[in-house]
Homo-oligomer: A and B are copies of this chain.
Amino acid sequence: MKHVIYVVGIGPGSIEHMTFQAKNILEACDCIIGYNTYIELIRPYFPEKEYIMTGMTKEVDRCRLAIEKARTGRSAAMISSGDAGVYGMAGIMYEVAADYPDVEIKVVAGITAACSGAALLGAPLVSDFCLISLSDLLTPWETIAKRLEAAAAADFVVCLYNPASKRRAGHLQRACQIMLRHQEPNIPVGVVHCVGREGEKTEITTLGKLSSMTVDMFSTIIIGNSQTKIIAGYMVTPRGYQLS
């Protein structure tokens, strides 16, 4: 019999953005494993569970702890903020579990920051778009730069994850310089801070002004394309319907 580990996307944080499937699985499991900050977000809703927490950058350890726990017969769920499959724990969990044929991984999708952020800004992602993380901890900056350039040149809407951290000062400025080679400075940009959490805030700016905005690791940025416009204060990328 296989030991199943669920990797559950909890959405941006509050229970109202979680799916029924995610809540049902967390309610049914014995043990919940995750990064400290995300455990604290959900603990009030599931107070009776065994919790295992690890710090950031301890992703591989976290997977091994989940596997150990599952193999003792305890049902285990690993949580990930947003969607576990989008810059989340799902990938590394499959990789670590590859050495354990008695363990099976099942992913439960959640609302990723691109989607929860877009809903607050209006409808900026209604046409083709890219997700690009500006963190070069795991991806070389040259690859990130190439993707930014390709996305801007092909007029994709671009959603930036991890736009800044203490160790990555200047990445957003470099990203803006690359995109401005292909896109106009007056293209609308939406910045969302702390989606679905305390301190949630949205700001609308332009690509030309983006590099002077204050952002951190809890910010999500959506850069429009040549068609994106502002309607009644909301950011909208028309898909091309004829209105009359």
- Please list the residues of chain A having a beta carbon within 8 angstroms of any beta carbon in chain B: 9, 11, 15-21, 23-24, 59-60, 83-88, 90-98, 101, 104-105, 107-112, 115-116, 118-120, 122-133, 138-139, 143-144, 146-147, 149-151, 153-156, 231-232, 234, 236-243
Residues of the B chain whose Cβ atoms lie less than 8 Å from the Cβ of A112 = 115
Q: Give Cα distance in the complex from A149 to B150, angstroms.
A: 9
List 6 additional A-B contacts (Cβ < 8 Å) besides A91-B236, A94-B232. Answer: A15-B20, A18-B20, A83-B115, A83-B118, A84-B119, A115-B115
Q: Give Cα distance in the complex from A132 to B138, angstroms.
A: 25
Q: Give Cα distance in the complex from A128 to B138, angstroms.
A: 12
| CB pairs A–B below 8 angstroms (15 shown) | A9-B115, A15-B20, A17-B109, A83-B111, A85-B115, A85-B124, A90-B123, A91-B239, A92-B126, A94-B231, A127-B139, A129-B130, A138-B241, A143-B155, A147-B155
**Measured between C-beta atoms, what is the minimum distance from A242 to chain B in Å?**
7
A243 & B130 in contact (Cβ 8 Å cutoff)? no
A91 & B237 in contact (Cβ 8 Å cutoff)? yes
Q: Give Cα distance in the complex from A104 to B131, angstroms.
A: 28
Q: Give Cα distance in the complex from A232 to B11, angstroms.
A: 27
Residues of the B chain whose Cβ atoms lie less than 8 Å from the Cβ of A126 = 85-88, 90-92
B242 & A60 in contact (Cβ 8 Å cutoff)? yes
Residues of the B chain whose Cβ atoms lie less than 8 Å from the Cβ of A240 = 138-139
B98 & A109 in contact (Cβ 8 Å cutoff)? no
A131 & B128 in contact (Cβ 8 Å cutoff)? yes
Residues of the B chain whose Cβ atoms lie less than 8 Å from the Cβ of A98 = 231-232
- A94 in complex: contacting residue of B85, B101, B143, B234, CB < 8 Å: B234
Q: Give Cα distance in the complex from A108 to B111, angstroms.
A: 11
B151 & A130 in contact (Cβ 8 Å cutoff)? yes
Q: Give Cα distance in the complex from A146 to B128, angstroms.
A: 12
Q: Give Cα distance in the complex from A125 to B94, angstroms.
A: 13
B128 & A130 in contact (Cβ 8 Å cutoff)? yes
**Measured between C-beta atoms, what is the minimum distance from A106 to chain B in Å?**
8
Q: Give Cα distance in the complex from A125 to B85, angstroms.
A: 6
Q: Give Cα distance in the complex from A109 to B124, angstroms.
A: 12
Residues of the B chain whose Cβ atoms lie less than 8 Å from the Cβ of A131 = 128-130
Residues of the B chain whose Cβ atoms lie less than 8 Å from the Cβ of A24 = 16
